[in-house]
Amino acid sequence: MCCETSEKEDGSSMVVIIQTLKNEIDLLKKLIFEKDEKNRIQSENIQLLKQNNQLLKENLGTSQNKANKKAENSADKTHILATKTAEADKINLKSKNETQQKVNNIQGPCTSKDSKVNDQSSKQKDELLGYQKQIMDNLININDESTNNNDDGFIEVNNRKSRSKKDVSYKKKTFGLNKTENFGVEKKAWIYLYRIKRHVTEEKILGFLKNSPKFKDAGITVKELPTSDSQNKCFMLSADFNLKDELYDPNNWPQSVGIRRFDFKKYHSYQQRNKPADF
């Protein structure tokens, strides 16, 4: 009984060993198959790389051949152009020499005639200049505004004196009147105010100026100029001329108020057209 039991155990262990070996063999077969498959894929990739390299070599060879042919064609064209240019220069030089020789042959017999013609033309020019000078002298004598005739029939010439700047300067002349009397009008400063809001009036501008110590006792008049309802208002201001600089100073006015000299020409033009204008 003991012998039979041991034999059965040995048989079962052998079966297990055999099964394990079979499994290992199957695993090795799978590994070998996978390795063969990888080798096959690598060989195919290598073949593709070889084909790509061959195509690149062919393309490079074609490009190089085209470049060489283009360079050869360019060199041939340059050589042909240089040859044609040299031939044209030779022809032009030859024709130029022939033309110059013909001109020299023609000018030889005519040299003496040309010198005579030149002498005659110079004489005619001198005579013409003398005649023109004589005419100008006569015109000067005739058009002299300062010539006067004497009773004896002679012409008395008075030189005109140019008026100096001092003669045209403005001087105060009394003409025998009393010096205390003054008939002149005092000079005024005329100013154009613009960019002013619609609610502002003449009285408001005058009141604004009178609130300043600079213009408190000054004689200032303000007149509103006609504008449309969609425009800003504008005014004409007149004051003593000695206040001109103060009135032109932007610091003496509210911000954004426009100040400049009043243009009477534009004002009269506006009155004629009866349209709002920028003075």
Domains of the chain by residue range: 9-106, 187-273
Match domain 187-273 to its CATH number in 1.10.1740, 1.10.260, 3.30.70, 3.40.50: 3.30.70
Conformational region of residue 221, where left means phi above 0, alpha means psi within -120 to 50, and beta covers everything else: beta
**Structure tokens that stand for 140 in this block:** 């000067």
- Tens-level pLDDT at each residue, the chain (279 residues): 555 666 666 777 888 889 899 898 999 998 999 989 989 999 899 988 988 888 888 888 888 888 888 877 777 778 888 888 888 888 878 877 887 777 676 655 555 555 555 666 777 777 777 766 776 666 555 545 444 444 444 344 445 555 555 544 444 554 555 556 667 788 899 999 999 999 999 999 999 999 999 898 888 999 999 999 999 999 999 999 999 999 999 999 999 999 999 999 888 887 777 655 455
The pLDDT value recorded for residue 237 is 95
This prediction's pTM: 0.35
Contact predicate 212/246, CB 8 Å = no
What count of other Cβ atoms lies within 10 Å of the Cβ of residue 261?
12
- The pLDDT of residue 151: 42
pLDDT at 140: 58
Cβ 191 vs Cβ 248: under 8 Å: yes
pLDDT at 129: 77
Rounded CA-CA distance 34/225 in Å is 106
Q: Is 195 left (phi over 0), alpha (psi -120 to 50) or beta?
A: left
Helix (H, G, I), strand (E, B) or coil at 86: helix
Q: Retrieve residue 40's tokens.
A: 């096959």
At residue 156, the pLDDT reads 44
260's tokens = 């400049």
